[in-house]
Structure 1
Amino acid sequence: MAIQISPSILSADFAHLAAEAEAVADSADWLHVDVMDNHFVPNLTLGLPIVESLLKAATLPLDCHLMIEDPDRWAPAYAEAGAGSVTIHAEAAKAPVRTLRAIRSAGARAGLALNPATPVDPYADLLGEVDMLLVMSVEPGFGGQKFLDLVLPKIRRARELIRNSDAAVWLQVDGGVSAETIERCAEAGADVFVAGSAVYGEKDPAAAVDALRTLAERASR
């Protein structure tokens, strides 16, 4: 597995997003953008206009995680704007296959996210429709939460399902990922890691990304 790190700008300085994106440009693989609508999750962050502006400034591809109601309506627009990856929540999508295909048709990688209490097995048949499966390791809505160890068996199960399928699917984990937890996630089978405060809460975000990658690569061998 090729380890990838996707720093979350949810923990960055919103007044200087371009500079915060540049701080990890040479070390990270993606820039994770948490889109929250204060309906699907109890928080309001940013939307398509900010993403469009960030696309003009960031050199890393944007990994847009839509924690919103009605992703079937809104998700394709993020792909059309230029996001490299667009992830929708299984709990919110009413027509996930159609929406995932629309994301791909617009030129982005399509992701499907599962909340901590959502089992992975019911979505095994959709693996051929996704490029990435996101297992949430906190309840979505706020950064800085403590990692939920109860999701580790689900990460292992997700990796098993991916391995047994013909699909080339990345397995992402998001929530409480840090130097203390990333090895457990990698050992369980994750290969894409979202880290917010563990990157932007450090004095040197780039060095923090490098350190997380080293830990994950070691654990995944």
Structure 2
Amino acid sequence: MAIQISPSILSADFAHLADEAAAVADSADWLHVDVMDNHFVPNLTLGLPIVKSLRKAAALPLDCHLMIEDPDRWAPAYAEAGAGSVTIHAEAAKAPVRTLRTIRSEGARAGLALNPATPVDPYADLLPELDMLLLMTVEPGFGGQRFLDVVLPKIRRARELVGTRDAAVWLQVDGGVSAETIERCAEAGADVFVAGSAVYGAQDPSAAIDALRAQAEQAVGR
């Protein structure tokens, strides 16, 4: 599978989200939307109304990452709103299989996210229900955090469980992805990269995405 870059609008200018989405439309693969509820994580960000509006304004498909309590209740609505991918947290979902299947039935890709301290092996049996496995490489809740190298062995283990880079399940990393860390993530097995401040903190977000993609591709020999 080709390397994919999903810039996070958590690091964008919220007053001009349509313009910020357009700034990366020609270079990114997805637009990552961090949904936080101030309960599952200690921050409050974007919700369903913003996703509905972004879906109309953004050319890129939306990659919605739900860092919320009760994703079993709320996740289907994000798929119904037109998100191309909806990811729920294993730590919050009480009925993950049902929820993942519902997301898929609404036409979106279904993802499962794991916090840095959550082991991947207990969820190996759920891989057939997934389109993407997201490994947090920072503690969820805030952008701009320092990358946690301790997660690298888990990325390698996840790649072993998922299979080769041509496997059906994508392996995404989110948190602290930058020019200094993306090669390590790619070498460990990730193929989808969420980058916030490394993209929207750059003078030219589109060029920053191109540079990150080139680094990841070089790291895996593509």
TM-score, length-scaled by structure 1:
0.98
1-side partners of 2:220 and 2:25: how far apart? 24
Counterpart in 2 of 1:46?
46
- 1:154-210 alpha-carbon deviations (Å, 9 max, x no partner): 00000000118x961000000000000000000000000000000000010000000
Counterpart in 2 of 1:113?
113
Moved over 6 A (4+): none
**How many corresponding residue pairs?**
220
2-side partners of 1:83 and 1:161: how far apart? 27
Q: Secondary structure at the match of 2:28?
A: coil
Identity fraction in percent = 89
TM-score, length-scaled by structure 2:
0.98
| Residue 137 of structure 1 pairs with residue 137 of structure 2 | yes
2-side partners of 1:98 and 1:54: how far apart? 27
1-side partners of 2:209 and 2:167: how far apart? 28
1-side partners of 2:128 and 2:163: how far apart? 12
CA contact (8 A) 1:66 1:88 kept: yes
Offset of 1:123 from its aligned partner? 0.1
Offset of 1:100 from its aligned partner? 0.1
| Counterpart AA for 1:63 | D
| Counterpart AA for 1:18 | A
2-side partners of 1:2 and 1:128: how far apart? 21
| Residue 59 of structure 1 pairs with residue 59 of structure 2 | yes
Q: Secondary structure at the match of 1:86?
A: strand
1-side partners of 2:81 and 2:220: how far apart? 34
- 1:94-114 alpha-carbon deviations (Å, 9 max, x no partner): 000000000000000000000
1-side partners of 2:62 and 2:167: how far apart? 22
Offset of 1:13 from its aligned partner? 0.1
Q: Unpaired segments of 5 or more residues in structure 2?
A: none
2-side partners of 1:62 and 1:162: how far apart? 23
Counterpart in 2 of 1:71?
71
CA contact (8 A) 1:79 1:107 kept: yes
| Counterpart AA for 1:98 | R
Q: Secondary structure at the match of 1:117?
A: coil
Q: Secondary structure at the match of 2:88?
A: strand
2-side partners of 1:220 and 1:43: how far apart? 35
Counterpart in 2 of 1:4?
4
Offset of 1:220 from its aligned partner? 1.3
1-side partners of 2:154 and 2:79: how far apart? 28
| Residue 102 of structure 1 pairs with residue 130 of structure 2 | no
- 1:66-116 alpha-carbon deviations (Å, 9 max, x no partner): 000000000000001100000000000000000000000000000000000
Counterpart in 2 of 1:17?
17
Q: Secondary structure at the match of 2:150?
A: helix
Q: Secondary structure at the match of 2:64?
A: strand
Q: Unpaired segments of 5 or more residues in structure 1?
A: none
| Counterpart AA for 2:110 | A
1-side partners of 2:46 and 2:172: how far apart? 22
